[in-house]
A = this chain, B = another copy of it.
Amino acid sequence: MQVKGQTWTYEKKPVILGASSIVGPEEGEGPLAEDFDFIYDNIEINEKTWEKGERRLLEDAARKALEHASIKEEDLQFYVGGDLMNQIISSSFAARKMGVPYIGVFGACSTSMESLAVASMMIDSGAAQYAMAGTASHNCTVEKQFRYPTEYGSQKPPYAQYTITGAGCSVVSAQGDGPHVTHATIGKVIDLGVKDPFNMGTAMAPAAADTITAHMRDTGRSPGYYDLIVTGDLAAVGLPIAKELLKKEGIAMEETNFMDCGLMIYDRDRQKYVLSGGSGCGCSAVVTYGHILKRMKRGELHKVLVVATGALLSPLSYQQGESIPCIAHAVSLEMGG
């Protein structure tokens, strides 16, 4: 591997040998439904608690990714994963079931690309032949943990986001066919003082802009290099802010398609439910591993930069009057050699 600034270049160009996306009923009604491997028809995910449901999504996704990668369970060497639950229990309990050496990570909703960046480092460095990255979120587990009791049904402001129910995993390897992981830009914690925990888009936009700026600087690229640059998840409020901040940095985002996973996953006419758009660890994971990789394999996209954003607050840090520290990790995906 090589490093320049915040950006790693993977010299072996690890391949995403197989990936998976399993979602809940609401995500299954959205425009990307056909790209998901399985859609549960109930928000309980056939389990007795939402937390067990979230874990089941992740276990399903892990199994499906192995199947798509056409490798045996015993050939998987490491699992790198995390989620939004306190003490990342969804990932740790899924890792218990998988029975492979496990690196738990946490980057809130940036976990999707943090885990892929670390798993790809294992492949590139020779630390693994096969490694899995994965994450999950569930609307009700997150509402309950971060906001109000779910049954309370409290109203949220229109700039709030809606945590998606879903899990995505990928198996990376040094050899094989599939999109390659070519670079990762590891984010710094950026905090411009936003304190409203419903306003994640505004809080996270500067982190996304900072990481995209670093990626372009470190690689000498401009946005036009990519067919698509996608954040996850700034939604309707954060994406225009990120565009504006990047414009001030002289980064010409108009050269490319600049989209957001939280805006892609739901029909926009469902806005009264999903407010400014989707969020949660699972959102950028299922959009990337479901939708984007399939478009890459169909030849519709060749070069994509996925910029997963995370808000690193806890209910306690908010209660103690702290602002919201945010981060974004970017991973560059390319088809072909």
Contacts and interface: CB of A to CB of B under 8 A. Distances in A.
Interface of A: 1-3, 6, 8, 49, 51-52, 77-78, 82, 84-89, 92-93, 95-96, 99-108, 114, 118, 121-122, 124-129, 186-189, 191, 312-317, 320, 322, 325, 327
Nearest to A185: B101
Contact of A87 (B6, B52, B95, B312): B312
Listed residue (A51, A89, A99, A114) with the most chain B CB atoms within 10 angstroms of its CB:
A89
A147 to B, nearest CB: 14
A308 to B, nearest CB: 13
Contact of A118 (B102, B118, B316): B118
A313 B129 CA distance: 30
Contacts of A6: 77, 101
B105 A320 contact: no
Query: Closest 8 A-B residue pairs measured CB to CB?
Result: A125-B125, A101-B186, A92-B312, A87-B314, A96-B189, A104-B106, A86-B86, A1-B125
A52 B317 CA distance: 9
A186 B104 CA distance: 11
18 contacts: A1-B125, A51-B316, A51-B317, A85-B314, A87-B106, A88-B106, A88-B312, A89-B312, A89-B317, A93-B189, A93-B325, A95-B189, A96-B325, A101-B187, A106-B106, A118-B118, A121-B127, A125-B127
Given A106-B106, A127-B121, A314 B101 contact: no
A149 to B, nearest CB: 13
Listed residue (A84, A87, A99, A129) with the most chain B CB atoms within 10 angstroms of its CB:
A87
A192 to B, nearest CB: 11
A89 B186 contact: no
Contacts of A77: 3, 6
B2 A316 contact: no
Contacts of A104: 82, 105-107, 114, 312, 327
Contacts of A313: 87, 89
Contacts of A99: 188-189
A82 B92 CA distance: 15
A78 B186 contact: yes
A320 B49 contact: yes
